[in-house]
Amino acid sequence: MTLDGRVAIITGASRGIGFGIAERLASAGMRVALYDVSPLVAEAAAKIAEAGGKAIGIRGDVTSRRDVQAMFDMVESELGPVWLLVNNAGVIPTGPTADMPEEAWDLAMAVDLKGVFLCSQAAIQRMIPHQGGRIVNVSSIAGLIVRTGQVGYCAAKAAVNHFTRCLAIEVAPHGITVNALLPGMTRTELLADSFVARGLNLDDMLGMIPTGRFAEPADHAALIEWFASDAARQVTGQLVCVDGGQSQFMPLMVAKPAT
Ligand SMILES: NC(=O)c1ccc[n+]([C@@H]2O[C@H](COP(=O)([O-])OP(=O)(O)OC[C@H]3O[C@@H](n4cnc5c(N)ncnc54)[C@H](O)[C@@H]3O)[C@@H](O)[C@H]2O)c1
């Protein structure tokens, strides 16, 4: 089985990791639908189309059942049956928990968790009749390890990790796999904004990453392409960190040896 001509939906694809995934899948021959609440989604899809890919941009909100259902209908009528859903849209409300507005908590739960449910539900409703498909949730290592000042985000991503495993088992008999990709720190506007919001310098964090580099969207896109392929048909319910070893590592303050 080749990915050529198959249809992928990528949420949150107007920039950052989602756009990188859409670019790579389109260059693998997939017909890609970029879905985003931002009006920049049309420009992002046009950029892929200009480079020779088959891409459409659809504006909508992952937290709205109506938007999501309409988006799947549009994708099916313009591109064909959906083979791959990449749940990538995300937000990072940031600040101390004691002062966290209720709206910030609700936003994290709505976009980072409920959006994954709504899009996955719409996808499996359409994949089950075809007895096949792939879902990949772009979660975060923040759902495994603790990051301070982002309690809603971390809780939502931890829930996405378990959602991934639960849904994988439920839909396995239908030939649908569900996996999660857990990025570590990746150079995107989201990361930069979240560091500025906490008054931190991004480059100070490099020492936390054993490979000595931040991830790039292309690192994640390569794994998504593999998850979508026939080579990964027996892989489901897995959480794979793409983080340069960050989630496994505690930097040591090594004491100077006594002279
Ligand atoms: N950048 C990192 O270091 C990092 C690390 C771990 C996990 N992640 C995860 O990767 C994913 C992508 O992150 P990114 O860094 O590319 O972020 P980004 O902010 O560059 O992109 C996120 C996209 O999601 C869209 N979006 C937000 N709310 C939406 C909604 N309600 N409906 C539809 N689209 C919506 C935004 O408009 C934006 O285009 C997120 O789920 C994030 O949590 C990122």
Distance from C-alpha of 216 to C-alpha of 20, rounded to nearest angstrom: 9
pLDDT, residue 97, reads 97
pLDDT at 56 over 80: yes
Q: Is 153 a catalytic residue?
A: yes
Band (200; pLDDT cuts 50, 70, 90): confident
pLDDT, residue 190, reads 85
pLDDT, residue 252, reads 75
- Atom 2 in ligand 1: residue holding the nearest Cα: 186
172 within a domain of the structure (yes/no)? yes
pLDDT tens by residue, 2-20:
999 999 999 999 999 999 9
Going by C-beta distance under 8 Å and a sequence separation of 6 or more, which residues neighbour residue 86? 8, 9, 10, 11, 18, 21, 135, 136, 138, 224
180 within a domain of the structure (yes/no)? yes
Gap from CA of 5 to ligand 1 centroid (Å): 26
- Atom 23 in ligand 1: residue holding the nearest Cα: 12
CB-ligand 1 contact for 63 (6 Å cutoff): yes
CB-ligand 1 contact for 202 (6 Å cutoff): no
Gap from CA of 58 to ligand 1 centroid (Å): 16
Residue 145 sits in which domain range?
7-248
72 within a domain of the structure (yes/no)? yes
- Report, as an integer, the average pLDDT of 137-156: 96
Q: How many domains does the chain have?
A: 1
pLDDT, residue 193, reads 84
Tell me, what CATH number does 80's domain have? Answer: 3.40.50.720
1 within a domain of the structure (yes/no)? no
**pTM, to two decimals:** 0.96
Distance from C-alpha of 109 to C-alpha of 114, rounded to nearest angstrom: 6
Distance from C-alpha of 250 to C-alpha of 248, rounded to nearest angstrom: 7
Q: Which one of the listed residues 72, 83, 153, 163 is annotated catalytic?
A: 153
Residue pair 96/149 in contact (Cβ under 8 Å)? The answer is: yes
The atom number, within ligand 1, closest to the CA of 157 reads 43
209 within a domain of the structure (yes/no)? yes
254 within a domain of the structure (yes/no)? no
pLDDT tens by residue, 78-111:
999 999 999 999 999 999 999 999 999 999 999 9
pLDDT at 192 over 90: no
Decide the pairing of beta strands 176-183 and 133-138.
parallel
The mean pLDDT of the chain is 95
Distance from C-alpha of 58 to C-alpha of 35, rounded to nearest angstrom: 5
The atom number, within ligand 1, closest to the CA of 220 reads 10
60 within a domain of the structure (yes/no)? yes
224: which strand partners? none
Going by C-beta distance under 8 Å and a sequence separation of 6 or more, which residues neighbour residue 10? 18, 21, 22, 25, 32, 33, 34, 35, 86, 88
146 within a domain of the structure (yes/no)? yes
